[in-house]
């Protein structure tokens, strides 16, 4: 029998337990696919005596995961602790220094330290693998790094957080408020007790920074991602979006714009006929625009024990086979440092919802503010009249520069008749690349 690939697992939470389950359930088929058995030799977790649905009998136990990474009888260290710094980072650094391959599901770690870790891993002659860090069970890392290697990519975007997609889907289907649906998501386990990491867009931004590095051969630059969450999206916006032929999605979008890297996470109005508009519930989807494949979309579950563990084990199979590729598709020394594109120079169309006092002259004042910043209105919606009371007014604009839109919104917000801060959501058409001849 071939020598087994011995692995040490740091972290026995949901994904750690799931990884052990997958390795046990599919041991024989994984051996056939890998050409050798994959065997867990050591584990580390905060609570040794905690009851778990998998057995750790016969495995070396380490109370200090970093010591395990440096000393365990293992070729691979699997880091499933989480967080961008602290013990998770120490585990990966210790494993690389000891000449061990690293597999991680830690998107925050890769987004914030991926370039440095990639350089260290390549210098040590080991792999740094992270399929599970982005979009759970969707094999998007392998797709961008290998499957689409023949393409020059112009844009990559997607629904990168299942919690936000679940909330927006259920707000649309039920008409309930963000707070009500968030509370339900927490009860069902789709959202954490402190949901800010998800609903404020940070989780999606971590994943987007990784996708951008893969797609464009650049250093990971999480700090340059423009981030907005979904807290301000209301049932009213969702109803107006439906009337206008859109779905509201929290999207991460990365593109090369005039040699600069555009990275942004925010709610978007997406045409209902766009394939990504139909991705609902806790599902994720990632779309890549390439010069030879045109547009490719992958959809699947983006989190949870099974999908994430599946991605972890896929990386282990590659290592067991002896398959190696640079962390971000090209050698780390060749990763470009791209200048970030200014969000104020973003060009696009916009949805604006206003709450105004219904009185003569209001539209004239709004139109004057738009005229002053050279912003052109495409459509306007107002249902009914209630003179002297507040009403909702919705406008969509033709494409314009974000700086002009920012100035327009500030001018409109200063009007006496506008009683709440305007709600602004960017409209994304996602026109496909021109067909190749």
> Annotated active-site positions, please?
207
Local structure of 431: helix, strand or coil:
coil
Q: Say if CB 351 and CB 171 are below 8 A apart.
A: no
Buried b (16+ CB within 10 A) or exposed e, 101-135: bbbbbbbbbbbbbbbebbbbbbebebbbbbbbbbb
Spatial CB neighbours of 420, under 8 Å, sequence gap ≥ 6:
354, 355
Q: Say if CB 107 and CB 140 are below 8 A apart.
A: no
Q: Say if CB 348 and CB 262 are below 8 A apart.
A: no
The tokens describing 143, both together, are 């797709």
Local structure of 74: helix, strand or coil:
coil
User: Taking the mean position of all CA atoms in its chain, how far away is CA 263?
Assistant: 11
- CA torsion, points 108, 112, 118, 120, in degrees to nearest 10? -110
User: Taking the mean position of all CA atoms in its chain, how far away is CA 240?
Assistant: 26
The tokens describing 347, both together, are 């060009």
Q: Say if CB 303 and CB 310 are below 8 A apart.
A: no
The widest CA-to-CA distance across the chain, in whole angstroms, is 85
Q: Say if CB 216 and CB 238 are below 8 A apart.
A: no
Q: What are phi and psi of 134, to 5 degrees?
A: -130, 120
Place of tokens 């594109």: 341
Closest CA to 352 of 275, 404, 279: 404
Q: Say if CB 283 and CB 299 are below 8 A apart.
A: yes
Q: What are phi and psi of 93, to 5 degrees?
A: -65, -40
Q: What is the C-alpha to C-alpha distance for residues 198 and 105, in angstroms, rounded to an integer? A: 16
Sign of the torsion formed by the C-alpha atoms of 33, 38, 44 and 50: positive
């Amino acid at each position: 029998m071939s020598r087994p690939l011995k692995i040490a697992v740091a972290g026995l939470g949901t994904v750690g337990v799931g990884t052990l389950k997958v390795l046990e359930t599919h041991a024989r088929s994984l051996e056939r696919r890998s050409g050798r058995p994959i065997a867990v030799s050591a584990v580390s977790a905060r609570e040794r005596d905690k009851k778990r649905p998998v057995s750790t009998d016969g495995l070396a136990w380490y109370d200090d995961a970093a010591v395990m990474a440096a000393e365990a009888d293992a070729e691979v260290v699997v880091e499933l602790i989480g967080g961008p710094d602290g013990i998770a980072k120490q585990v990966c650094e210790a494993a690389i220094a000891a000449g061990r391959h690293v597999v991680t599901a830690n998107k925050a770690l890769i987004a914030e330290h991926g370039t440095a870790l990639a350089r260290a891993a390549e210098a040590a002659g080991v792999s740094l693998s992270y399929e599970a860090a982005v979009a759970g069970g969707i094999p998007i890392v392998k797709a961008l790094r290998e499957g689409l290697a023949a393409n020059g990519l112009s844009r990559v975007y997607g629904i990168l957080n299942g919690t936000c997609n679940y909330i927006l889907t259920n707000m649309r289907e039920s008409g309930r408020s963000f707070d009500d649906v968030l509370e339900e998501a927490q009860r069902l386990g789709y959202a954490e007790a402190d949901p800010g990491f998800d609903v404020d867009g940070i989780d999606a931004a971590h994943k987007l920074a990784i996708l951008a590095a893969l797609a464009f051969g650049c250093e990971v630059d999480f700090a340059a991602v423009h981030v907005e969450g979904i807290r301000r999206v209301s049932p009213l916006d969702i109803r107006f979006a439906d009337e206008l032929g859109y779905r509201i999605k929290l999207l991460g979008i990365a593109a090369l714009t005039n040699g600069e890297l555009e990275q942004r996470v925010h709610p978007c109005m997406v045409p209902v006929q766009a394939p990504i508009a139909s991705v609902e519930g806790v599902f994720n989807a990632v779309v890549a625009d390439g010069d030879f494949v045109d547009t490719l979309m992958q959809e699947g579950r983006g989190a949870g024990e099974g999908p994430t563990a599946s991605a972890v084990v896929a990386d282990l199979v590659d290592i067991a086979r002896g398959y190696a590729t640079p962390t971000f598709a090209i050698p780390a020394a060749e990763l470009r440092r791209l200048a970030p594109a200014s969000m104020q120079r973003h060009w696009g169309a916009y949805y604006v919802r206003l709450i105004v006092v219904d009185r003569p002259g209001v539209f004239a004042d709004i139109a004057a503010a738009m005229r002053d910043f050279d912003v052109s209105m495409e459509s306007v919606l107002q249902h009914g009249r209630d003179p002297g009371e507040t009403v909702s007014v919705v406008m969509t604009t033709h494409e314009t520069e974000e700086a002009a839109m920012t100035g327009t919104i500030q001018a409109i917000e200063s009007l006496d008749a506008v009683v709440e801060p305007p709600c602004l959501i960017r409209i994304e058409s996602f026109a496909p690349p021109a067909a190749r001849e």
